[in-house]
Structure 1
Amino acid sequence: MVGAALEDVLRPLAPQVLGVLVRRHGQFEACEDAVQEALLAASVQWPAEGVPDNPRAWLLTVGTRRLADHWRSEHARRRRETTAALLDGLDEAAPEQPTGEDDALTLLFLCCHPALSPSSQVALTLRAVGGLTTAEIARAFLAPESTIAQRISRAKRTVAGHEFAMPADADRTSRLGAVLHVLYLVFNEGYTATSGPDLHRPDLTREAIRLVRQVHRLLPADGEVAGLLALMLITEARRPARTRPDGGLVPLAEQDRCLWDRTLLGEGIALIETTMARAPVGPYQLQAAIAAVHGEAERSEDTDWPQIAQLYRVLSAVAPGPMVTLNRAVAVGMVEGPRAGLDLLATLDDGPLVGHHRVLAVRAHLLEMAGDRAGARAEYQEAAIRTTSEPERRYLEERAARLG
C-alpha cells in the first residue's frame, strides 16, 4: 500500500487516535505530536510490512509509546511511574475499549471551545480533526501561513487544560456554529482540493459527512445541522461525474448525470425538503436548496436558474459574503444576461477575493457568454496561473485554448 491509498487509511484514523490520547492523558499539543510521529512511523513501516489487522490500535500503541518516551526524557524523575503505567498491558492488537462516544466528535467540540476566538476554533479543528496542513488552512482563510501557524499554536495551549468530554447542552449549542463551519470547510477541501494533482480528497468528504451525521443524531431538530448534511450529501452525489478518466475536471453543465449517486442525491433532497418545511431557514439550508435544484434537473438545460437566482438573493441577505456574491453572479448571468452578472462580479474588485482564481474563472465564463472571446481567454489564462490545483489548472488552460 503506497501513496494515496495509504493516506486514505491514515487520515480518518488520525482524529480518532488523537481523541483517545487526549481523553486518556490530556496535554493536547503533546498528544498531537505523538500522533504525527505514529502516522510517520506507519507511512514508513506499513508499505514494507503490510497494514496491521487493527490499524487504529497500532497507531494508539505507537502514539502512547511516543508520549511515554517524551515524558521520560522530559520528566524522568517525577514521571517514571506514570510512564511505566502507560506502557503496562498495552498490546498493538488489543482493541480500544468503547466509551459510548465518538472521540473524534468530542475532539471536534473541544477544538471549538468558547475560550478560543471563532477563527482559532476553525483553524485548530481543521488541523486536529480535518488533518489539513497549515498551508491548506491558510488558503482557506485567505491568510498568511505564518499567521495561521501562530493561531493554531496559541489555540493548542488554550485548550490543553480543559476536560476532554462532550459539553453540556447549553455549551454544545454555543459551539455549534463553529463546529458546522469547520465541517463545511473540511468537506469543501475534500470536494475541491486547493492544491495537488487530484481534484478530490474523498477521505475528507467521507469524514466530514460521518461527523455531521453524528451531530445530526445529537441534534435532530436543528435545521442548520440537517441543512449542512443535506448539502454535503447532494454535493457528494455528483462526485463520480466530476472527473474524466485522466483526472481532468468536468464542470456541472457537462457532467453525465447518469453517473450521479442517486441514493445520496435522494437522501439529501428529501432531507432538505423536510427541514425547510419545519425549521427557520439558515445559510446551510439555502445552499442545500440550491444544490437540490441543480440535482433535480435531468439535463443541464433543464436547470431552474430563476429559482436558483432567487435563492442566492435570499442567501446574500441572510449570510452575505464574497463567495456568495461570486456564485450569485453566475446565477444572475444565466437569468438576466452575462453583463448583469459581470456588474455584480465587479463589486468584488476591492475585497478579499481580488485576484482569486475563481473570480477570474467566473469573469472569463461570463465574458465568454457575452461574446468577448479575447477577454475571456485572457481571464482563463490568468486564472490557470493563479490556481494551485492541477486539475483546475488543466481545465482552465483547455478553456483558454478553445478560444484561441
Structure 2
Amino acid sequence: MTEPAVEQVFREQYARAVAVLVRVFGDVDVAEEAVADAFTTAVQRWPEDGVPPSPAGWIITTARHRAIDRLRREGSRADRYAQAALLHAAAEPVDRGPVADDRLRLVFTCCHPALSPPAQVALTLRLLGGLTTAEIAAAFLVPEPTMGQRLVRAKAKIRAGRIPYRVPTAADLPARLGSVLAVVYLVFTEGHTATGGDQLARADLCAEAVRLGRLLHELMPDEPEVIGLLALMLLTESRRPVRTTADGELVLLADQDRSRWDAALVAEGQALVRDCLRRAQPGPYQVQAAIAAVHSDARTAVETDWAQVRQLYDLLLELTPTPVVALHRAVAVAEVEGPAAGLALVDGLTLPGHLVHAVRADLLRRLGRREEAAAAYAAALERVGNAAERAFLERRLAEQRAAG
C-alpha cells in the first residue's frame, strides 16, 4: 500500500511542498532537493511506520528539516548561498502581499522577466506540475539533455541574478500575466492529454491548473483573458469523464455521450464566456473558450454549429497565427466544406509531433484514400508518446490496412 500511497502524495502534494519550501528558504534548488529527500525518506519509512495522518504535512516538515541540516553543513563551509537561505528561513515574512497562495506565487516567480519564455514554461512545469525532465522535453519536442541544461540554467539565473522569491507587487502582475496564463494553460494541456504514460489524462494536473485559474480570476476579476482561460479550462474539463472508455480507450469528441458531460462545469464555463462577450475585448483564450462553448451548446455532434466554429477559428488565426491554430481551423473547414478542403490546408502545414499526421490520416480516411491514410497513421504512430492515443491510432491503422 505504501509505495502507491507515496506516489499519490507526490502527484497531489509535490507542487505545494516545493512552493512552501521556496517561500521558506528563497531558493529553488534547496526546495527541490529537500522535497526529493523527503519523498525518498517516505519510501523508506512508510512501509514500516505506516502512512502518517497528514502525509503532506509530514513531507513538508521532513523537507524543511532536511534543508536546514544541509544548509547548516554548507554554511559551516562559508557557503554564502547556504547562509543566505538560512537567514531567509529565520526571517520568513508574514505579509504575503496580493498573492496569498504559495503555488500561484511560485508561478509568478517562475515568470520573472529575466527568464526567457521557454525557460519560464519549463521551470513551471517542473516545479508546479512535478513533471520529470524527460516529460518536459517531450512536451517541448527537444532531447532530454537539452531540457536538463535549460532547467539548470534557469535555476542558476535565478540564483546568480539574486531573483528573490517574493510576492509580485500589484503593479508587477499585469506585466507577468501573459506568461502566467501561458504556463497555467500548459499545465492544463499536459494534464488533459499527457505527452507520455499509460493514461490519456492526468487529473491532478488538470485540477491544479483549474485551481490556479480560479485564484487568478479572484485576483484579477476584470482581466478578460483570465476569464477566458478559466472558461476554456472548465468547458474542456467538463468532458473528461467520457474522453475514455472504462478500459482507457480514447473516445473522440464526436463519439462522446454528451449527457455525461459535467453539467455544472459547462454552465459555469458558458457563464464566463458570456461575461467575455459583454466585455468585447477578444483575446486568444476568450476565442478558444467561445469555440468550446459552441461545442457544449450542441446536444449531439451533428448539431454542432461548425460554421460558427470556423468563424471563430478565423478570428483566432488573426490573433494567433500559428501552425497549431491553422491545423484546428483546417478541421473546422473540413466539417463545413468537406474533407478535401480541409486536407488541402493540412498539406500545407509543417508541425513537429504526431497531431498533423493524425488529422491528415483522418481526412484521407474519410476520402477513401486508404493507402495514403495508412501511411499517415503510421507516421503519426512514429511520433506519439501517449499510450491511449497510440492504441487509437493503431486501431485506425489496422482498419485501413484491412479495408485496403
TM-score by length of 1: 0.90
The aligned counterpart of 1:75 is: 75
- The one-letter code matched in structure 1 to 2:175 is S
CA distance in structure 2 between the partners assigned to 1:113 and 1:82 by the alignment:
21
- The one-letter code matched in structure 1 to 2:7 is E
- For the residue of structure 2 that corresponds to 1:386, the secondary structure is coil
The aligned counterpart of 2:342 is: 341
Using the TM superposition, give the Cα deviation of residue 59 of structure 1 relative to its aligned residue in structure 2, in angstroms.
1.1
Q: What is the percentage of aligned positions where both structures have the same residue?
A: 50
Which deviates further from its counterpart, 102-111 or 1-10?
1-10
In the TM superposition, 1:190-269 aligns within 5 A as: 190-269=191-270
- For the residue of structure 2 that corresponds to 1:114, the secondary structure is coil
CA distance in structure 2 between the partners assigned to 1:240 and 1:5 by the alignment:
24
The aligned counterpart of 2:387 is: 390
- For the residue of structure 1 that corresponds to 2:275, the secondary structure is helix
In the TM superposition, 1:362-401 aligns within 5 A as: 362-401=359-398
* Structure 1: 4+ residue segments shifted above 4 A: 2-6, 77-88, 97-100
- The one-letter code matched in structure 1 to 2:10 is L
CA distance in structure 1 between the partners assigned to 2:301 and 2:307 by the alignment:
14
The aligned counterpart of 2:113 is: 114
User: How many residues matched?
Assistant: 392
- The one-letter code matched in structure 2 to 1:68 is I
The structure-2 alpha-carbon separation of the partners of 1:360 and 1:2, relative to structure 1 and needing over 3 Å to count, comes to farther
CA distance in structure 2 between the partners assigned to 1:267 and 1:210 by the alignment:
14
The aligned counterpart of 1:105 is: 104
Using the TM superposition, give the Cα deviation of residue 158 of structure 1 relative to its aligned residue in structure 2, in angstroms.
2.2
The structure-2 alpha-carbon separation of the partners of 1:98 and 1:299, relative to structure 1 and needing over 3 Å to count, comes to farther
- The one-letter code matched in structure 2 to 1:230 is A
CA distance in structure 1 between the partners assigned to 2:202 and 2:297 by the alignment:
25
The structure-2 alpha-carbon separation of the partners of 1:115 and 1:99, relative to structure 1 and needing over 3 Å to count, comes to closer
Measured against aligned partners, the alpha-carbon deviations of 1:318-340 in whole angstroms (never above 9, x if no partner) come to 01112111111111111111111
CA distance in structure 2 between the partners assigned to 1:272 and 1:202 by the alignment:
23
Using the TM superposition, give the Cα deviation of residue 170 of structure 1 relative to its aligned residue in structure 2, in angstroms.
2.2
Using the TM superposition, give the Cα deviation of residue 4 of structure 1 relative to its aligned residue in structure 2, in angstroms.
6.2
CA distance in structure 1 between the partners assigned to 2:3 and 2:118 by the alignment:
32
- For the residue of structure 2 that corresponds to 1:374, the secondary structure is helix
| Cα pair 1:15 1:107 within 8 Å, conserved | no
Q: Which runs of 5+ in 1 are unaligned?
A: 89-96
- The one-letter code matched in structure 2 to 1:179 is V
Measured against aligned partners, the alpha-carbon deviations of 1:353-402 in whole angstroms (never above 9, x if no partner) come to 14x21111100111112121222122223322321111111111111222
- For the residue of structure 2 that corresponds to 1:170, the secondary structure is coil
The aligned counterpart of 2:147 is: 148
| Cα pair 2:327 2:346 within 8 Å, conserved | yes
CA distance in structure 1 between the partners assigned to 2:95 and 2:11 by the alignment:
21
Using the TM superposition, give the Cα deviation of residue 163 of structure 1 relative to its aligned residue in structure 2, in angstroms.
2.8
The structure-2 alpha-carbon separation of the partners of 1:83 and 1:335, relative to structure 1 and needing over 3 Å to count, comes to closer
| Cα pair 2:27 2:85 within 8 Å, conserved | no
The structure-2 alpha-carbon separation of the partners of 1:244 and 1:175, relative to structure 1 and needing over 3 Å to count, comes to same
Q: Which runs of 5+ in 2 are unaligned?
A: none
Which deviates further from its counterpart, 338-347 or 247-256?
338-347
CA distance in structure 2 between the partners assigned to 1:105 and 1:84 by the alignment:
23
The aligned counterpart of 1:65 is: 65
Which deviates further from its counterpart, 384-393 or 6-15?
6-15
The aligned counterpart of 2:10 is: 10
- The one-letter code matched in structure 2 to 1:139 is A
Using the TM superposition, give the Cα deviation of residue 50 of structure 1 relative to its aligned residue in structure 2, in angstroms.
3.5
The aligned counterpart of 2:36 is: 36
When the two chains are superposed, the root-mean-square deviation of aligned CA atoms in Å is: 2.4
In the TM superposition, 1:282-297 aligns within 5 A as: 282-297=283-298
The structure-2 alpha-carbon separation of the partners of 1:84 and 1:389, relative to structure 1 and needing over 3 Å to count, comes to closer
Which deviates further from its counterpart, 18-27 or 209-218?
18-27
- The one-letter code matched in structure 1 to 2:397 is A
TM-score by length of 2: 0.90
The structure-2 alpha-carbon separation of the partners of 1:242 and 1:6, relative to structure 1 and needing over 3 Å to count, comes to farther
Using the TM superposition, give the Cα deviation of residue 12 of structure 1 relative to its aligned residue in structure 2, in angstroms.
3.3
